[in-house]
Structure 1
Amino acid sequence: MRTANIACARSIAIKRPIRLGAASALLLACAVSVGVGAAMAAPPMPAQPVVPLNADPVFPFSNEIDAFARANAAGPPVRDATLFLGSSSIRLWDIAGSFHDIGTVNRGFGGATTAHVLHYYKRLLPAVPPRSVVVYVGENDLAAGATPDAVTRDIVTLLKKLRADYPRAPIAFLSLKPSPIRWTLRPKMAQVNAAVASRAKADGFVYLDVGTVLLARDGLPDASLFRPDGLHMNARGYQRWTGLVDDWLDHVAPPRPAAEKAS
């Protein structure tokens, strides 16, 4: 290409002065000539394989969902277990270590909205029916821009599905928690919490307020209970949740000697 450019420049220099229009035409001809030569010299691009699009609109969660299926098939099912279902607040909770005297199944996956949980619902269920169920979802929905009414509808839909599938299991919905980084969402969270709580008795579940224990004396989220990201709780924060949920479980589903602990 450099040789072609020099040749074109020399061709212009050795001729008598020409009008601007002719010079422009000559430069254009040189550029076209260079482009054609480069195109002819370049090796043909190899054919690119056609990659089929993934039909699953929430593909990023597939690995986690597959892991749940592998856990179901890995060994004997955990009987008389409490199912913990929801987003990263469930996933990051050391469920087995926090509830030593009962069997547990953790089905939390990070970043999940209620719509994601509903999408994967059947694949999230344990191999055998749980003795009780604890649910935390909805916070990510609001953070993604969903309205409180839409979030409430999805949460109630999920809780109704769980009630229909497990008619005898006590079910608890954990209130949307306050956190430093999402404090501006607090009014919308309060709206969802109030709406869900109002449906608890009619729809057969219990509403547990797990947000108040995360507030400092000034009414703001206690930063000492959260990780540096200001969103997820640390061990001290989870201790607060464990105490509340453990008290509820002791009341509605006291541990049985034969209960197996989740691995």
Structure 2
Amino acid sequence: MPTANISCAPSIGIRIALAALALLLPAGTLAAQTVAPGSSEAPRVNADPVFPFSNEIAAFAKADGANTGPPGGILFLGSSSIRLWNTGGSFPDEATVNRGFGGATTPDVLHYYPRLLPRAAPRSILVYVGENDLAGGATPAAVAHDLLALLKKLRADYPRSRIAFLSLKPSPIRWTLWPKMAAVNMTVAARSRVGRFDYLDVGSALLARDGLPDASLFRPDGLHMNARGYSRWTRLVDGWLDRGETASVTGQPAKTAPMGRSASLSD
């Protein structure tokens, strides 16, 4: 798989089209339509062009049309880190629905939101998105704002479901973005109690002893995880799901690991 681009420049064809449009429209028309960065209405830039949005969104609709899905399943929602995760094989005892699409930003998920939800209400929802936002140039504040808007929307639509945000992950190719990712993680984690969702630190498990991303957990592109990387995420999510099951039996609220605490995992 080719290395993902951190920024996507407009193609020559797009530039020509915009120039022609500018000649036809009154002065200032295009400028008036500009949207603030970080807004859910901002232009959607695919930071990971390996996966086309239209094909994947259409596939979700087709899957929903063929099968309503089991009630009380687990919804995985987000970008390519979700898309490439074999959630069915990783959680064989659970009914999983994977709604990850490659290159997705949080505004993309908000834009396509009605088309991403399964027809049957999920028992648990896990969200991973936001990394591509930063790679596309969004500020940590804008990313956190959009993530909290998405989580608020999910909480309103699924008041009885458990919801967890999977922290933005460090990776070799995007290591320079890690300080910004950490800022987003801190903001979202700080709002988890008020927003009634869980914050699950899945990034610490991908770091080596020297504090850098463990390259052995990633594919050759240095961005997407390999099977060993996903096995660590699976164990963390499995533990979160187990805590939820225990809480439902005992009637006690489920506990989550403190932010920044590393999981002791080995393959």
TM-score tier (shorter): 0.7 to 0.9
Q: Indicate the residue corresponding to 1:124 in structure 2.
A: 116
Q: Indicate the residue corresponding to 2:240 in structure 1.
A: 248
Query: SS at the partner of 1:151?
Result: helix
2:68/2:120 contact within 8 Å kept: no
**Is 1:78 equivalent to 2:70 in the alignment?**
yes
1:112-154 residue CA offsets vs partner (Å, 9 max, x unmatched): 0000000000100001110010000100000000000000000
Query: SS at the partner of 1:135?
Result: strand
1:180/1:231 contact within 8 Å kept: yes
CA distance in 2, matches of 1:76, 1:140: 30
2:105/2:132 contact within 8 Å kept: yes
Q: Indicate the residue corresponding to 1:189 in structure 2.
A: 181
What is the CA-CA distance between 1:253 and the residue it aligns to? Answer: 3.9
1:78/1:105 contact within 8 Å kept: no
Q: Supply the AA of the counterpart residue of 1:114.
A: T
Counterpart of 1:222 (choices 214, 218, 234) is: 214
CA distance in 1, matches of 2:245, 2:140: 31
TM-score by length of 1: 0.74
What is the CA-CA distance between 1:237 and the residue it aligns to? Answer: 0.2
1:163/1:204 contact within 8 Å kept: yes
Bigger Cα Rg = 1
What is the CA-CA distance between 1:62 and the residue it aligns to? Answer: 1.6
CA distance in 1, matches of 2:206, 2:235: 12
What is the CA-CA distance between 1:71 and the residue it aligns to? Answer: 0.3
Q: Supply the AA of the counterpart residue of 1:69.
A: A
CA-based RMSD of the aligned residues comes to 1.5
**Is 1:90 equivalent to 2:95 in the alignment?**
no
Q: Supply the AA of the counterpart residue of 1:148.
A: P
Q: Indicate the residue corresponding to 1:261 in structure 2.
A: none
Q: Indicate the residue corresponding to 2:140 in structure 1.
A: 148
1:5-41 residue CA offsets vs partner (Å, 9 max, x unmatched): xxxxxxxxxxxxxxxxxxxxxxxxxxxxxxxxxxxxx
Q: How many pairs align?
A: 199
Query: SS at the partner of 2:77?
Result: strand
1:132/1:253 contact within 8 Å kept: no
Counterpart of 1:163 (choices 152, 155, 160) is: 155
TM-score by length of 2: 0.73
Counterpart of 2:195 (choices 203, 223, 234) is: 203
- 1:91-106 alignment runs, 5 A limit: 91-106=83-98
What is the CA-CA distance between 1:251 and the residue it aligns to? Answer: 1.3
What is the CA-CA distance between 1:76 and the residue it aligns to? Answer: 4.1
Dislocated runs of 4+, deviation >2 Å? 57-60
CA distance in 2, matches of 1:253, 1:82: 13
Query: SS at the partner of 1:157?
Result: helix
**Structure 1's 251 and 149: CA in aligned 2 closer, same or farther, altered over 3 A?**
same
**Is 1:137 equivalent to 2:137 in the alignment?**
no
Structure number having the greater helix percentage:
1
Unaligned runs of 5+ in 2: 1-42, 47-51, 247-267
CA distance in 2, matches of 1:66, 1:168: 28
